[in-house]
Structure 1
Amino acid sequence: MEGKISVKDIVECKGKRKIVMVTAYDYSMARLVDKAGVDIILVGDSLGMVMHGLDSTIPVSMDDMLHHVRAVAAAKPRALIVGDMPFLSYEVSREEAVRNAGLLLKAGAEAVKVEGGVEIVDRIEAMVKAGIPVMGHVGLTPQRYLVIGGYRKRGKKLEEAEKIIEDALAVQEAGAFAVVIEFTAKEVAEIITKKLRIPTICIGSGPACDGQVLVLHDLLGINENPPPFAKKYADLARIIVDAVSNYAREVREGVFPGKEHYFTMKEDDRKELYRKYGI
């Protein structure tokens, strides 16, 4: 895809090319992942755990999301920016859903993502009617981990598999332009991908989807306890620790800063300055 990527571009990828989505939460990382050529930057509520050290996404607030969306938007990426709607920012009412989604767009997001299926259809419809592009999210929905019994595999049994398929279809009919399928049996994700007109983006749900998404800190090897479905493409944690350790050692040994890292005064000015201060 050439030029700035739009929601329309993502929809048109269905059945033609794989969609690459990755999370980013700040200006610097957004610039780097955009240079790498990703299609979508997700400012995920996973920032609660990755950036803020929380135990789940539930405490993440709208203010948190707006802060990080603004930081990512400042990078002016070619990739489409999608902002997660945090817990209780859309569940309470259609009006709150539209209002909060609008705030994310005003902060720089170009679409929003919501977790859930049949139970949030009216919220999705209201947001789409208001002119807000919506990405769905079914299967494992982390904001509902207390209800669904933790961060467990989804769709292994027939009844649950059928519920996830029903949710995905409902999200599509409500007007979503794409749907994330998380930690769901491969067969279920495959059926959803074949049945839906809109793109599916998998995380831990197999290769059949129209695209894939990973948390940036998982693929870079920064997170200490990544989920089982994440693949580590680098050991950035080790690189960072080594770099900072070398910096600390050179400071303590007087090696840093070297002559190339500072500047000096002209000789006459230096002598006069030292004379005045008795040095």
Structure 2
Amino acid sequence: MRNIFTFGHRAAQRNWTVADLRANKGKQQLTEVTAMNGEQAARAAAAGIDTIITRVQRMKEVRDAAPNTFVTAALMLVDHPTESDVLEGAMRAMDQGADALYTTRSLDTIKMLADLDLPVMGHVGLVPPYSTWIGGLRAYGATADEALKLADRFRAMEKAGAFAVEVELVPQQVLEEINKQTSLVTFSIGSGSGGDVTFLFSEDICGETENPPRHAYAYGDVRRLQEQVEHERIAALTAFQAAVRDGSFPYKDVSVSMKPHELEAFRDKLGKSVRLGTERKGY
């Protein structure tokens, strides 16, 4: 663990720092997963996952659940439409303990954040929000011309001040070649093992996604368990409904009862009070 001060001037410890990630480039393969809530973040930390990525809006919850894990806060396009929104979101996320920022916006946005000495991650290859420009959701860089354009994009991001880049659906051989020449820490999703960090969505890893993408791999079958739990819930509610209807519930062992002598005394006193009330009414 490294002792650090966060952007918000709070003492903390981290499993990795930006300097560590850079120094590890080309060496040990690291991992990154998504965490959209505290539960996912806590599981990732317990599993020893190296880095987590979450949305800015979830940053505090994720940081609280995984206090020592390197966390990147994503500045999603729809949440931060203007440069001023980006800056406000970035400052809030860093104050809440983010170690880095992620954006799919322009090189100018990356430069704006990097000029403030904030660690910024860009995105190359298939960038889903911009998939219309390359003809839809597909691999990018499978031709020599596209691979050269990717190499140019890497250099432009370096020049803008990014420290890392997410590389999505790029041929492994292309990433391997570019990774030898770039200073950027590369986070591979669907781009093979040619990067420095291998990234997958937590839901895909755990087997919770109904139609996972081709590059995903399920190491668990949580969806099956979730379906079993849902079936059990409905079955339990149905049984309760039937038991009440046929008069068998509430059962004796879940109901409260009086001792026989107390019940007899209660009935006697209740009868007297009813008679007394009737007499008073008649008066």
- Tell me which interval the TM-score lies in, with the shorter structure as reference length: 0.7 to 0.9
1:81 to 71, 79, 84: 71
Distance 1:90 1:247, change over 3 A: closer
Tell which has more relative contact order, 1 or 2 (C-alpha 8 A, sep 6+): 1
Contact 1:30 1:77 in 2 (8 A): no
Unaligned ranges ≥5, structure 2: 3-12, 244-253, 271-283
2:51 to 19, 40, 56: 40
Q: Which residue of 2 aligns with 1:47?
A: none
For these two proteins, the number of residue pairs brought into alignment is: 242
Q: Which amino acid aligns with 1:140?
A: L
Shift of residue 229, structure 1, vs aligned partner: 0.5
Q: Which residue of 1 aligns with 2:140?
A: 154
1:190 aligns with 2:176: yes
In the TM superposition, what whole-angstrom CA distance separates every residue of 1:46-96 from its partner, at most 9, and x where no partner exists? xxxxxxxxxxxxxxxxxxx44322321221432111111111666754x55
Q: Which amino acid aligns with 1:203?
A: I
In the TM superposition, what whole-angstrom CA distance separates every residue of 1:180-225 from its partner, at most 9, and x where no partner exists? 1100112221122111123211011111111100011111111111
Q: Per the alignment, in what secondary structure is the counterpart of residue 180 of structure 2?
A: helix
Contact 1:138 1:164 in 2 (8 A): yes
Q: Which residue of 2 aligns with 1:258?
A: none
Q: Which amino acid aligns with 1:197?
A: S
Taking the aligned partners of 1:148 and 1:90, their CA distance within structure 2 comes to: 24
Contact 2:56 2:89 in 1 (8 A): no
Contact 1:19 1:210 in 2 (8 A): yes
Q: Which residue of 2 aligns with 1:140?
A: 126
Q: Per the alignment, in what secondary structure is the counterpart of residue 242 of structure 1?
A: helix
Taking the aligned partners of 2:130 and 2:27, their CA distance within structure 1 comes to: 33
Shift of residue 107, structure 1, vs aligned partner: 4.0
Q: Per the alignment, in what secondary structure is the counterpart of residue 135 of structure 1?
A: strand
Contact 1:98 1:130 in 2 (8 A): no
In the TM superposition, what whole-angstrom CA distance separates every residue of 1:211-261 from its partner, at most 9, and x where no partner exists? 100011111111111110111111110011112322432444359xxxxxx
- Max radius of gyration: which structure? 2
Q: Which amino acid aligns with 1:131?
A: D
Give TM-score scaled by structure 1 length.
0.76
1:12 aligns with 2:29: no
Contact 2:163 2:183 in 1 (8 A): no
Contact 2:102 2:121 in 1 (8 A): yes
CA RMSD across the alignment: 2.9
Unaligned ranges ≥5, structure 1: 44-64, 256-262
Q: Per the alignment, in what secondary structure is the counterpart of residue 219 of structure 2?
A: coil
Q: Which residue of 2 aligns with 1:60?
A: none
